Amino acid sequence: MLAGVTIDGSLRERKKRQTRQSISDIATRLFLERGYERVTIAEIAAAAGVAKMTVTNYFPRKEDLVLDIAEEFVALLARAVAERPAGEPVRDALRRRYAEAVARREAAVGFAGEPFVRLVEDSPALAARLRELFDLRERALAAQLAAEPATAGDDLTARLVAAQLAGAYRVLFAEAFRLIRAGHDEEQVAGILAEAGARAFDLLATAGD
Amino acid sequence: MLAGVTIDGSLRERKKRQTRQSISDIATRLFLERGYERVTIAEIAAAAGVAKMTVTNYFPRKEDLVLDIAEEFVALLARAVAERPAGEPVRDALRRRYAEAVARREAAVGFAGEPFVRLVEDSPALAARLRELFDLRERALAAQLAAEPATAGDDLTARLVAAQLAGAYRVLFAEAFRLIRAGHDEEQVAGILAEAGARAFDLLATAGD
DNA sequence: AGCATACATGGGTCCGACCTAAAAATAGGC
DNA sequence: GCCTATTTTTAGGTCGGACCCATGTATGCT
């Protein structure tokens, strides 16, 4: 409790992770088979062999069963800025980080299987949750920029710059989904996005520093 | 029917508008009194003296009862671009239109009473709907830009530029809400926004043309 | 005036979100 | 190893929003 780090190897922790993973896997399978809105929480619980409330405990909202990378997704840009080498302009750091994410086929920039892409884009609830995540990402970046020496104190400018930069990432994410839906394979998508990313960041004014 | 313009003075049309307006007014009053989530559709229907389904017929989603300016809100930017004088750069048109909207205290750029602002921002459902409207606004602008001679054919660039421009409007809208919540009166808000708008558009690269 | 259309009604279903009390499982002290 | 405190899971329920249907009623058109 005090030493809250009840090591993640404890029986309790392990079982929790197992239960969580099992629920998530079963839910994903059902969603891909039949579509997001046509699977109910009760069905997932039944299929996973747990109580309805257990599903809700692990995933407060149904959308969380699908979009389970929230933390990483939201923090991506703020982290890239915070961890950049001293003296590097913000825009350069984000351009670099984007290229890296594409090279690594990271989900946070839009890499996913076609069925998953369709699942998310065809469901109003999931699309709404994705918008919310983009919004949180932009806010996190704005907070980080406001804490930077260069922008310090000027919150409005920080928010404006964050909107420009996060906006580029968001459009590129949508482009990734579009390409995947159009049937391009991962390698093609990566190639096109690398070039699109370069163009996107060239378009941006040298804002931030 | 064929000459579908069954003039809006017909009895049927008038009654429809009355019913709609009456439901909307009563709903707004209840929401401001008790908060969005603590008023049910059934209560609104009862207070308005109509059937539950009638409320649903006019306002398919509960959020529509509050955010009833969707069409105007969504079209604002695309329209400003479409209707600008020949030869005027896109960015200039939007800068001009923003100043005009502020001068006119238009709701589409964030002018509203403080209770209304709190109502919207404190409700997850309404905040989500607002995000959706911003998204639709950006898409409408992107579509308009893609149809412009200068950007024609390059959809990705159109989407990137639209994100930058619509992003500025979105941040300025949030700033308006923030100022209103902080207790500034309409005149103060207008003054601050006029200046903030100028800064926001200065920050943007000369994109679009 | 009469007929087709469109609107409103009431009665229902379904599901996600949430609650509560109690049961089951585990961790830690002894 | 046992007992107790804590955490996790369970069962069964309420509530509200979205939706559907058949029916009734009012309006517009000819």
Domain that holds residue B154: 70-203
Average pLDDT, chain B: 89
Are residue B199 and residue B144 in the same domain, yes or no? yes
Give the span between the Cα atoms of B45 and B70, in whole angstroms: 22
Sign of CA dihedral B125, B128, B130, B135: negative
Q: What is the per-residue pLDDT for A139?
A: 97
Residue A149 pLDDT class (50, 70, 90 cuts):
confident
| Among B128, B132, B167, beta carbon nearest to A163 | B167
The answer on A162 and A77 residing in a single domain is: yes
Asked if residue A176 is part of any domain, the answer here is: yes
- Cα nearest neighbour of B165 on chain A: A164
The domain spanning residue B42 has which CATH number? 1.10.10.60
Inside any domain, residue A4: no
Query: Is A95 part of the contact surface with chain B (CB cutoff 8 Å)?
Result: no
If one compares B207 and B150, the residue with the highest pLDDT of the two is B150
**Partner B contacted by A159 (CB < 8 A):** yes
What digits encode the pLDDT tens for the residues A71-90?
A: 899 999 999 999 999 999 99
Question: A24: number of CA atoms within 13 Å, CB side?
Answer: 16
Identify whether residues A113 and A161 lie together within a single domain: yes
**A160 found inside a domain:** yes
Residue B183 confidence class, pLDDT cut points 50, 70, 90: very high
Q: Report chain A residues whose CB lies below 8 A from the CB of B171.
A: 156, 159-160, 163
Is there a contact between B169 and B74 (Cβ–Cβ < 8 Å)?
no
Give the residue from chain B lying closest to A171, CA to CA: B160
**A170–B168 C-beta distance less than 8 A:** no
Same domain, B86 and B139: yes
Pair B39, B57 in one domain: yes
Judgement on whether residues B46 and B80 belong to the same structural domain of the protein: no
From A65, A89, A109, give the residue that closes a domain. Answer: A65
Q: Is residue B30 part of a domain?
A: yes
Helices B90-103 and B70-82, packing angle to 10 deg: 140
My answer on whether B90 and B48 are in the same domain is no
Average pLDDT value for residue range B163-167: 97
Name the nt closest to B10 by C-alpha to C1': D28
CB contacts of A164 in chain B (<8 Å) are 164, 167, 203-204
Query: Quick check: A5 pLDDT over 50?
Result: no
Q: How many CB pairs under 8 A join A and B?
A: 65
Min Cα separation A176/chain B (Å): 11
Closest CA to A66 of A102, A116, A18: A116
Q: How confident is the model at residue A207 (pLDDT cuts 50, 70, 90)?
A: very low
Which of B98, B101, B106, B37 has the alpha carbon at shortest distance from B66?
B37
The reply to whether A74 and A61 lie within a common domain is no
* Single residue among A65, A82, A103 that ends a domain in this structure: A65
Mean pLDDT across B172-192:
97
Residue pLDDT, tens place only, A30-63: 999 999 999 999 999 999 999 999 999 999 999 9
3-state secondary structure at position A100: helix
Phi, psi (deg, nearest 5) at residue A201: -75, -25
Chain B residues touching A161 at Cβ < 8 A = 203
User: Do B164 and B99 share a domain, yes or no?
Assistant: yes
Q: B168 in contact with A at a CB cutoff of 8 Å?
A: yes
Question: Does the residue A100 lie in any domain?
Answer: yes
A28 is a domain residue: yes
B76 has a pLDDT exceeding 50: yes
A198 touches chain B (CB under 8 A): no
Q: Which nucleotide is closest to the Cα of A37 by its C1'?
A: C15
Is A175 contained in some domain? yes
Position A1 pLDDT exceeds 50: no
Confidence of residue A124 (pLDDT cuts 50, 70, 90): very high
Number of Cβ within a 10 Å radius of residue B129: 20
**Residue B194 forms contact with A (CB below 8 Å):** no
Q: Are residues A180 and A127 in the same domain?
A: yes
Indicate the number of domains in chain B: 2
Residues A61 and A75 reside in one and the same domain: no
Which residues of chain A neighbour B170 with C-beta distances below 8 Å?
Answer: 163
Domain boundary among A21, A49, A65: A65
User: CA of B106: how far to CAs of A142, B41, B100, in Å?
Assistant: 26, 29, 9
Q: Could you read off the pLDDT of B15-28 as tens digits, one per residue?
A: 777 888 888 889 99
Three-class HEC string of A62-79: HHHHCCCCHHHHHHHHHH
Asked if residue B161 and residue B95 are part of one domain, the reply reads yes
Range with the lowest mean pLDDT among A137-141, A169-173, B150-154, B166-170? B150-154
Residue B9: its pLDDT value, please? 56
Q: Which residue has the higher pLDDT, B118 or A208?
A: B118
Which residue did the predictor score with more confidence, B60 or A177? Answer: A177
Higher per-residue pLDDT: A93 or B37: A93
Q: What is the CATH number of the domain that holds A123?
A: 1.10.357.10
Render the burial of A181-206: b for 16+ CB within 10 Å, e for the rest: eeebeeeebbebbeebbeebbebbee
Q: In this structure, is residue B170 part of a structural domain?
A: yes
Q: What is the mean pLDDT of residues A138-166?
A: 92
